[in-house]
A and B are shown apart, each in its own frame.
Chain A
Amino acid sequence: MSNGALETRAPKERRRGWYYRLGFPKKRALWGIIFLLPWILGFFLMFLTPMIEMIIYSFNDVGIVATGGVSKEFVKFDNFHQALLVDATFVPSVVETLFEAVLFTPLIIIFSLMCAILLNGKFRGRAVARAIFFIPIIMATGLMMERVTNLSGQMLGEGQGDNVYGAESIARLVMSIGIGKELVQYLLDAVNDIFEIASMSGIQILIFLAALQGISPALYEVAKIEGATPYETFWKVTVVMVSPMILTCTIYTLADLFMRSEIVDLVYTISFRQSHYGLGAAMSCVYILVNVIVIGAAAGLIRKVVFYYD
């Protein structure tokens, strides 16, 4: 009887297979590979391969063959020469994008940190305020509103498009008092920029808000007991504790700004409308390189001042 039981159990153990004989860490490693498999496939097939192909295109004169596929003719650095030295729009656009990135990133970071601090405190109407402040996220970049504003600007002639906040009429009033036109124009631009900044800060506000919630109240208590002023507390506790998120937000903001640059449209026009695929690919290569260098440099710089609690 007992013999029979042993016999039946033994084959059963064997039938359960190799997976059950794996150690715990190995099992998890196996599941890790399984879980990551879609991403790995996607990365190599739909990201890395296209990227390598693009690098190859950038050294070739590329044409689309009617029967399918592409024809390539090796032209060495001609495309890069064309993009960097001949083309009149590419280099200025890159410089402008970089300039905008340098200008806007700190503004967005400061603006979103400020908003997060505003929203973090306890006050009446906080739920409503939060709901409103996250609307830019669903407007996703305000792209659509921007388009509509531009569109009506085009349709109705210059200036009308800016009139969303009634800034124009105020500007006219101010000008009639006799303040210089340049100053007024500067202020008008600033108002429009604020909208742009607000519309790009949604995610950053979110991230900072989460970071502020995560700061241990004990730290503030200690600061209070030690007699720190609110000003000191802000700089020595709040800013220091959210500093890792400043790194994250900077990287995200830069990537976002680069993604929205006019260069993307330029490359699209050159490759698809004008069929200069090789030139478009060369521009993409240069642009990606610039992106990676700028973001890497920014990350490297900020990393030096970031404080990690653990």
Chain B
Amino acid sequence: MIKKRKYEHMAKPSLQKRLKSFVTGAFRYLLIVCLSYLILAPILINLSTAFTNPRDLAFPSSMWIPARFSIENWHVSGLMLNYGKSLPYTLGFTAIICLLQTASAVMAGYTFARLKFPGRNILFALAIFTIVVPPQMFMLPQYLFFKEFDILGIFRAITGKPINLLGSSISLFILNAFGMGLKSGLYIYIFRQTFRALPKELEEAAYIDGAGFLRTFVSIVLPSAGAGILTVAVLSYVWSWNDPYYVQLFDNTNVNFLMLAFNKATGSVDEALASISSKVPVTYAFLLKNPVYESAIAKTAALLVFLPLVGLYMIVQRKFVQGVERSGIVG
């Protein structure tokens, strides 16, 4: 009697458990597949459009799988964005911004986490404040700041007039190097959390062994915060790549910056296509001014802007995801 009950007790939950785990597993996969579809569908459908032969664009049958494959759209969009020149330029330009922004955020973040001095907490509160205020809100004063760039009247004293930095990438570099770039506040916050999570003993050991401050920072602190640095660098690169706002405001002649070229081209696909019409293959000339064709070209152009990031992301993806887990964003 007792034995039997014991067996019942052991057998039943195991079946229940297995059923339960099967149901939760299936449910999890269902959710993940649905959400992945949600994220991927716009990209996939644009990809399919991009590979469709221009003559087949309006066919409903070639919505997901092109009736005839063609790379013609890529070719035309590439011409429209001046891709051969703008891609390498944007890669480099964004890298510089990313480097400056990450460097300034690392230094500020480390200070806010570890280096105590009077007034630090107030400054940190102000840094948080910069996250909260949309930077677009003081466009005009910032615009004028770079139009009449002058630090404490130094340039005015030397050359007699301030320097106009508008229309030059230097204004963007300055903004990022001084920790006021796009979402710099967020990066400072992430670094602060990262450094706070590092054990103090690491640095103390280095000091005891006779390393100076800079040496400790460069060869102990920075390497142990690698995960956080990777996280911020990826975010900074991606967001600078995608941000037309600052470039448009301070550096609007910079046609080689992909996002700006994209915005200009899609602002009026008509004009953009007309300007390269001499290079479009004659067979497709009848498609110019056709809205379906123009929308396909715009979609392909969007992919051209977006895909380099996917490539970069695929390279760092594994490290990035692990890094996020280890960076202690959470602190």
User: Chain B's interface: helix, strand, loop or mixed, by majority?
Assistant: helix
Which of B41-49, B67-75, B275-283 faces chain A? B41-49
Contacts of A261 in B (CB 8 A): 134
Count chain A CB atoms within 10 A of each CB in B138, B145, B306 and give the residue with the most. B138
The listed residue (B41, B175, B241) touching A165 by CB distance below 8 A is: B41
**Which positions 290-323 of chain B face chain A at CB distance < 8 Å?**
291-292, 294-295, 298-299, 302, 305-306, 309-310, 313-314, 317-318, 320-321
Total number of B residues with any Cβ neighbor in A under 8 Å? 91
Residues of B within 8 A of A (CB): 25, 28-29, 31-32, 35-43, 45-46, 104, 107-108, 110-112, 114-117, 120, 123, 126-127, 129-142, 144-145, 147-148, 151, 175, 177-180, 186, 188, 207, 213-214, 235, 238-239, 241-243, 259, 262, 266, 291-292, 294-295, 298-299, 302, 305-306, 309-310, 313-314, 317-318, 320-321, 324-325, 327-330
* Cβ contacts A to B, 17 pairs, < 8 Å: A28-B116, A30-B117, A32-B115, A35-B108, A39-B104, A50-B142, A125-B32, A132-B36, A140-B241, A143-B242, A144-B259, A144-B262, A151-B298, A206-B329, A209-B325, A211-B330, A264-B134
Query: Please, how many angstroms separate the alpha-carbon atoms of A54 and B145 in the complex?
Result: 12
In the bound assembly, the distance between CA atoms of A118 and B134 in angstroms comes to 32
B142 touches A46 (CB 8 A): yes
Across-interface contacts of B214 in A (CB, < 8 A): 31
Assuming the contacts A27-B213, A50-B142, asked whether A144 and B242 have C-beta atoms less than 8 A apart, the reply is yes
Name the distance in Å between A209's Cβ and chain B's nearest Cβ. 7
The CA-CA distance from A271 to B116 in the complex, in Å, is: 42
Smallest Cβ-Cβ distance to B40: which chain A residue? A132
The distance in angstroms between the C-alpha atoms of A69 and B207, with both chains bound, is 52
Specify which chain A residues have a CB less than 8 angstroms from the CB of B328 in the assembled complex. 210, 214
A147-B264 Cα distance, complex, nearest whole Å: 12
A-B contact count (CB 8 A): 255
Indicate if the CB atoms of B138 and A39 lie closer than 8 Å.
no
Cα A258 to Cα B147 in complex, Å, equals: 27
* B196 CB to nearest A CB, Å: 11
Chain A contact-residue range equals 35 or more
Whether the Cβ atoms of B117 and A280 lie closer than 8 Å is no
Do B111 and A36 touch across chains, with their CB atoms under 8 A apart?
yes
Those of A204-230 within 8 Å (CB) of chain B: 206-207, 209-211, 213-214
A281 with B188: CB separation less than 8 A:
no
Chain A residues 256 to 290 lying within 8 A of chain B, measured CB to CB, are: 258-259, 261, 264, 267-268, 271-272, 277, 280-281, 284, 287-288
